[in-house]
Chain A
Amino acid sequence: MNWIDTIAQGVLLGGLYALFAAGLSLVFGIMRLVNLAHGDLIVMGAYLILLVVSVTGINPFLAAAVAMPVMFGLGWALQRVVLNRVLGADILPPLLVTFGLSIVVQNVLLEGFTADSQRIGAGPLETASVDLGVVTLGVMPLLTFGSAVAVIMALNWVFYRTPLGRAFRATSDDPVTASLMGIKPQGIFAVATGLAMVVVTIAALYLGMRANFDPTIGPARLIYAFEAVIIGGLGSLWGTLAGGVIIGVAQTVGAAINPEWQILAGHVAFLVVLLLRPRGLFPRAFD
């Protein structure tokens, strides 16, 4: 067994989990909302891209670009119409509403696309690889990891270098004071969820190109995303990437020892971090 190879694959897999987690982290950071439908929304994004690809026959990357504004609009509307109504001191309503949404999205997809496994075809890219001497890495995993880094850099730029990011941070710190300064928290929340859905679309693209997916796999993606966020520490996007990498490496190492242990190893790694560092590795937010 080649340990270097196993770990390299795990690190790259971590990029995918960081992509799953970035949207979750964004929404939680701004409005303290844990969206239990996050995983199902990723799967929905994958079906949307698949739909665009199969109708128009364009390249999946272009299809994702087409899907992005649609997903932004869906996220914006979801926040405006549903989620803004349940935000508040009580955590029960948002949890139960997003849990209901998770079940609804899963079953809408099941009804619309059947339970058959699907895949977004990416042509020769699927099998292309780069030989680095010590290890051979797939181009697709490398692209995934690169996209995760790019998404996190972009989100950090939006957060700390733009007026929108200033509004995000202000609303996150204190919605009441922010609204005195002419920011409408409800509108900011809607834009944030829309932006999270754009990130979800990128995650969906790689989810769909790398492996088969079906309507039921959303909750497992939510769990990986959640583990990455908690390991990294709430509020730190780079921490989320580190969290994703830890889950990814734990999974590939677990799978190398016994294929049945892949998923279990990821969860155990999460529990160990939670035991040793309850606030994650790079905590920033205090809540």
Chain B
Amino acid sequence: MDRGQTYRVETRTKASTIAAVAGVIMLAVALALPAFAGRGVIQDLFFILTMLTLAQFWNLLAGYGGLVSVGQQAFVGLGGYAMFGAAILWGWDPVAALILSGVAALLVAVPTAFFAFRLAGAYFAIGTWVVAEVVRLSVAQWKAVGGGTGTSLPREASSDMWGQAGIEALFGVKSAAARDILAYWLALVLCVATIGGIYWLLRTKRGLALAAVRDNAEAARSVGVDAGAMKWVVFLVAAFGTGIAGGLIYLQKGRISPDAAFAVTDWTAYVIFIVVIGGIGTIEGPIIGVLVFFVLQNLLADYGSWYLMVLGLIGIAIMLFAPRGLWGLFSDRTGIQVFPIRRRLAGGKLDATKREG
């Protein structure tokens, strides 16, 4: 039997190979960008990268896990406050405290999941929202980090982070700009790790189980998939990542308050619209969505509430007429997948027939 006769399962497509090469080049450019881009560009990119990270985690929850959470702001806020708490109370370096952001979110996610998983389907959404409100109101009682009015990062923490002096020397910039560059690099790493991690997860056996539960929970259970365990895994992973993203967002902002850090609009509504507009249940969707969102925000930012109105209407229209989002429309027409997870059988007689035909 020659090599052509063996069968193999593969996911890679031509588009994904090209995209992988393009991705590596883009990543190299993005890493070097602070050398020649202005501070405004770096801040915009930081915003895009952190929103994309939040969107990827929400997409993992809702698009793959079927868990529509309206309470992710709890983990963004907790992440921010954990970082501030460690920096203010224990004098931790804010960069090192980012790991605490994730851990704090994870610790609260366990009881949250315990409560929210008792609520079936749609009620889960509001259940997570209630928990987020409880966390917000409780944190507002925490006087050491400013109570209801919030607080700023102490000067020694915000101007002497790990690597900040090096960046100042390297690019010849002031400490505030150096903090932006540091935050941007961290956001880049976090975002790439998030996308890479989720892509890896979806390609593993667990990812296959997740897709099975999403498509048909009963059928998945009948072939031995533990749907409950998968929900826990997804919820905790999303909370951990969202917490780190929250810590990073507030590391860059340098100021935190309960109303901003636990804002349902900023950290959940925007994120939901990004995922829905781009295409729920795909890794590509949030990437498209965040770009559309950024463009819309820049076009309409001066119109205040009109902006949110338009965003809401677009979200409704997409859900009604193209539930798989912009990427879904594109992918359906072209068959292109940048992050393919569908397993296809290749090799053996399949290749032989392809060659003949």
Contact = CB atoms under 8 A, between A and B. Distances in A.
Given A99-B70, A107-B312, A110-B305, A223 B133 contact: yes
Interface residues on B, range: 35 or more
Nearest to B121: A91
Nearest to B125: A95
Contacts of A33: 122
Given A94-B122, A110-B305, A99 B320 contact: no
A184 interface: no
Interface in B41-76: 62, 66, 68, 70
Interface stretch (B134-142, B182-190, B289-297): B134-142
A101 interface: yes
B269 interface: yes
Give the interface centre of A97, A111, A227 by most chain B CB atoms within 10 Å. Answer: A97
A223 B126 contact: yes
Contact of B323 (A93, A223, A226): A93
Interface in A21-40: 32-34, 36
B305 A275 contact: no
A91 B122 contact: yes
Interface in A87-120: 91-97, 99-104, 106-108, 110-111
Interface in A255-287: 260, 263-264, 267-268, 270-271, 274-275, 278, 287
A204 B141 CA distance: 31
Contact of A103 (B66, B118, B312, B323): B312
A95 B130 contact: no
Contact of A267 (B125, B133, B306): B133
Interface string B105-134: 000000000010011111101110111011
A106 B309 CA distance: 8
Interface string A152-195: 00000000000000000000000000000000000000000000
Contact of A34 (B62, B126, B133, B304): B126
Contacts of A51: none
Contacts of A85: 320
A223 B62 contact: no
Interface in A193-228: 219, 222-223, 226-227
Interface residues of A, number: 42
B119 A230 contact: yes
A62 interface: no
Nearest to B134: A267
B272 interface: yes
Interface string B8-33: 00000000000000000000000000
A166 to B, nearest CB: 26
25 contacts: A32-B122, A33-B122, A34-B126, A36-B70, A36-B125, A82-B316, A85-B320, A86-B320, A91-B66, A94-B122, A95-B122, A96-B315, A97-B315, A97-B316, A97-B319, A100-B313, A100-B319, A101-B316, A103-B308, A104-B309, A104-B312, A226-B130, A264-B138, A267-B134, A274-B119
10 nearest A-B pairs in the assembled complex, by CB-CB distance: A34-B122, A103-B312, A104-B312, A107-B305, A100-B315, A100-B316, A107-B309, A278-B118, A110-B305, A100-B312
Interface of B: 62, 66, 68, 70, 115, 118-123, 125-127, 129-131, 133-134, 137-138, 140-141, 264-265, 269, 272-273, 276, 280, 304-306, 308-309, 311-313, 315-316, 319-320, 323
Interface of A: 32-34, 36, 82, 85-86, 91-97, 99-104, 106-108, 110-111, 219, 222-223, 226-227, 230, 260, 263-264, 267-268, 270-271, 274-275, 278, 287
Given A86-B320, A223-B126, A270-B130, 8 more contacts: A91-B68, A97-B316, A97-B320, A101-B312, A111-B305, A223-B129, A263-B133, A271-B115
